[in-house]
Structure 1
Amino acid sequence: MLDIAIIGSGPAGLSAAINGVIRNKKVKIFGNDISTSYLYKAERVDNYLGMFGVTGREMMESFYSHAKEMNVEIENKKVLEIFPMGDFYMLNVENEFIEAKTVILANGITKANTLPGEEVLLGRGVSYCATCDGPLYREKTVALIGDSKHAEEDVNYLSEICEKVYYIPLYKDFGTFGENVAILADRPKSIAGENFVEKLVLKDSELEVSGVFIIKESIPTTQLLKGLEFEDKAIKVNNFMETNMPGVYAAGDCTGRPYQAAKAVGQGTTAALQAVSYLHAKEKEA
């Protein structure tokens, strides 16, 4: 069991991990490659103390190198859902279930918009993980909506097991795929079905499918952990980065404005130290 599970590999998550490791806790980060960070793409950063004039890429690589030097474990996998289990939390990491005593959410700004029918039919034909649920649709027809090139690996995998795959890329410069993959330059509008997915409604057409895979770079926080409180679309925290759920903390852009690396690093440190204090208090109670 992990002492601290960190969701997100940006400045807040890396800062939290470093401070958790310093305090001798078993820590692991779950997140995307650092190249997906908004900071990584910044042309120049002038307002981070002691690192004047660096590029966002240089800054992120420096943060990442620091974490690796301290043996922080980083896994480039997506956390699909977090379940409260009483005294600990269970993380569904692409269908691998991992236990953690505390959780730090440092997953940045996530796109919370969902399609009509998406939440209702989640688990009944709607999936966020092709690796997890793909085998359920062997020799069937499915659709996959992808918001970045990271989704293309899932398209290729589904094309190996499904009869037909409709791919709706929400980005430019997508790759080429097998004969049973149809690429549609259309916009998804809704997902329909009585008890299970029956069709994907697009702006200009409708697709009769057994399943709809929605592959995003990150799962919307509102769907990640049920019961979490929000304020102005940001995770509600106090000055100690505590959320309304015991043992759950948040840091960085997911807590709202200002969206600054310095704020994220500071909040990550605070979240980790509060998680450590929480763990020590629990140990005394036992």
Structure 2
Amino acid sequence: MSERYDIAIVGSGPAGITAAINAKIRNKRIIIFGYENLSNKLYLAPKINNYVGFPGISGKDLTEKFKDHLKEMDIEITYERVDSIYAMGDYYALMVNDKTYEATGIVLATGVSFGKPFKGESEFLGRGVGYCATCDAPLYKNKVVTIIGYNKESIEEANYVSELAAKVYYIPMFKGDVDLNSNIEVINDKPVEIIGDSHVNKLVLKNSEVETDGLFILRDNISPDQLVPGLLVEEGHIKVSRDMETNLKGCYAAGDAVGKPYQYLKSMGEGQVAALNAVSYLDKLSREK
């Protein structure tokens, strides 16, 4: 049986960590999924001029202050990517690789993905296109797999897939060295379109094309409605009320994921509101039992 948490927070940027801190202060059992640098957008910011009390602070220094606060609160980040979240009635199931976590309430602080889907991506989702290589790799034993990787974590997934698949193509979408197994072929080209009939069979690139049985697109995050089936999204952002509640009971959202302006202080305020209302939701459920 999976371990049940009060609140699961997806995302470790300013909105996510603020939600985690506020939920922890109110004695809720939490789990927060994110990254070692918390948020690359924040970490790589050369100078931040509108963060009250810290004029001109660098993103790296502010990240360290955030980490110190989390450490003081005894909050640890779970360095795993959530692949999908399913509403199960009175709780949510979070799928992470080959594991499942359960939580009564959810706070989505996933940020916003600025990349548009590739042509054919949505049409072939579940029919050869996937977002978790380690989850679905066994389906492609002795077959040809193509991986479009946007981060260093995608390298680990590609290496794992190469132990099962007959052939693996890796297309890096970032700059830097890629430490891949010797049997993986790197293609430095730009993906354009995914083609197939009932199932994916080809990836067209700007200067070439490859025949493939499966295709994994490993971005830092995926669109919210793909992450949480049934979630209401408008113009690429999660639709929320003033309480930061989504159309799904017990599911809240905050930060860039819910819309502009994409500002750190705005995200943190929303993270606090989302957490406090998630706590109220849990307390109400307890009283009703």
Whether TM exceeds 0.5 here: the answer is yes
Partner of 2:29: 26
Partner of 1:55: 58
Matched, 1:266 2:269: yes
Tell whether the 8 Å contact from 2:192 to 2:206 is kept in structure 1 after alignment: yes
Matched, 1:128 2:131: yes
Matched, 1:156 2:167: no
Q: Distance in 2 between matches of 1:192 and 1:82?
A: 28
SS at 1:276 equivalent: helix
SS at 1:131 equivalent: helix
SS at 1:254 equivalent: helix
Map residues 178-189 of structure 1 onto 2, 5 A cutoff: 178-189=181-192
Partner of 1:209: 212
Map residues 57-136 of structure 1 onto 2, 5 A cutoff: 57-111=60-114, 113-136=116-139
Q: Distance in 2 between matches of 1:178 and 1:91?
A: 30
What's the CA shift for 1:242? 1.3
Amino acid at match of 1:177: L
Map residues 208-247 of structure 1 onto 2, 5 A cutoff: 208-247=211-250
Partner of 2:280: 277
Runs of 4+ off more than 3 Å:
176-179
Q: Distance in 2 between matches of 1:170 and 1:209?
A: 18
What's the CA shift for 1:233? 2.4
Matched, 1:174 2:194: no
Amino acid at match of 1:97: T
Runs of 5+ consecutive residues of structure 1 not aligned to the other structure = none
Q: What per-residue deviation string (whole Å, max 9, x for no partner) do you get for residues 134-165 of structure 1?
A: 12222221111012233222222222322211
Tell whether the 8 Å contact from 1:112 to 1:222 is kept in structure 2 after alignment: no
Q: What per-residue deviation string (whole Å, max 9, x for no partner) do you get for residues 242-283 of structure 1?
A: 112111111111111111111111111111110010111111
What's the CA shift for 1:112? 5.5
Matched, 1:41 2:39: no
What's the CA shift for 1:238? 2.0
What's the CA shift for 1:178? 3.5
Amino acid at match of 1:158: V
Tell whether the 8 Å contact from 1:253 to 1:259 is kept in structure 2 after alignment: yes
Q: Distance in 2 between matches of 1:190 and 1:155?
A: 21
Partner of 1:255: 258
For structure 1, which segment, 5-14 or 115-124, has the greater mean C-alpha deviation from structure 2 after superposition?
115-124
Amino acid at match of 2:87: P
What is the number of equivalent residue pairs in this alignment? 286
Q: What per-residue deviation string (whole Å, max 9, x for no partner) do you get for residues 21-44 of structure 1?
A: 111101011123326421111111
Tell whether the 8 Å contact from 1:237 to 1:244 is kept in structure 2 after alignment: yes
Amino acid at match of 1:9: S
- What TM-score does the superposition give when structure 2 sets the normalisation length? 0.93
Q: What is the aligned-residue identity percentage?
A: 47
Q: Distance in 2 between matches of 1:265 and 1:144?
A: 34
Alpha-carbon RMSD: 1.7
Amino acid at match of 1:73: E
- What TM-score does the superposition give when structure 1 sets the normalisation length? 0.94
Tell whether the 8 Å contact from 1:163 to 1:180 is kept in structure 2 after alignment: no
Aligned pair partner of 1:16 in 5, 16, 19: 19
Amino acid at match of 1:12: A
Q: Distance in 2 between matches of 1:280 and 1:271?
A: 14
What's the CA shift for 1:180? 2.2
